[in-house]
Amino acid sequence: IKALQISLHKIDTVDEVIEIGGAEYITFEDLVWTIMRVTGFYRPIIKVQPYMMRWLTTLYGFLFSRTLITPQWLDILAASRTAPLGNMYRYFGFQPRRFEDTLMTYLPQKSFFFSALRYAFKRRPRSI
């Protein structure tokens, strides 16, 4: 958020695509384990092949009116999302915090189960 605020005030960031990121490389499995560790809610991890996951998300889309994950999100997870390490400091003048440290500030106090369930069963917005 801080980088977005600074970019709105700097003239040299207009019409630029700036890749920003931190110094840590996180796999999806590491991301899930970190979230479980921070929240204290541990679940078994079932390893699923990507083609099966895509099929399951399509099936999930037919069963529920809104989906929590889409095939497009799976494409984003499959692509390499690494950025040069120094871009955050070079453009905005600060170093990013670790992912786990950021989660520790707000994630343990919130419960997302009922809001996710409510979202999954909520009607889709009307198309234009």
pTM over 0.95: no
* Predicted confidence (pLDDT) per residue in 9-55, tens digit: 888 888 888 877 766 677 788 888 888 888 777 889 988 888 888 88
Number of residues that this document lists for the chain: 128
Q: Which positions ≥6 away from 89 have C-beta within 8 Å?
A: 95
Percentages helix, strand, coil for the chain, rounded to the nearest 5? 55, 0, 45
Higher pLDDT among residues 29 and 66, named by residue? 29
CA distance 69 to 54: 10
In this structure, what are the phi and psi dihedrals at residue 120, rounded to the nearest 5 degrees?
-65, -35
Average pLDDT, the chain: 79
* Predicted confidence (pLDDT) per residue in 71-100, tens digit: 888 887 777 667 777 788 888 888 877 777
84 CA to centre of own chain: 19
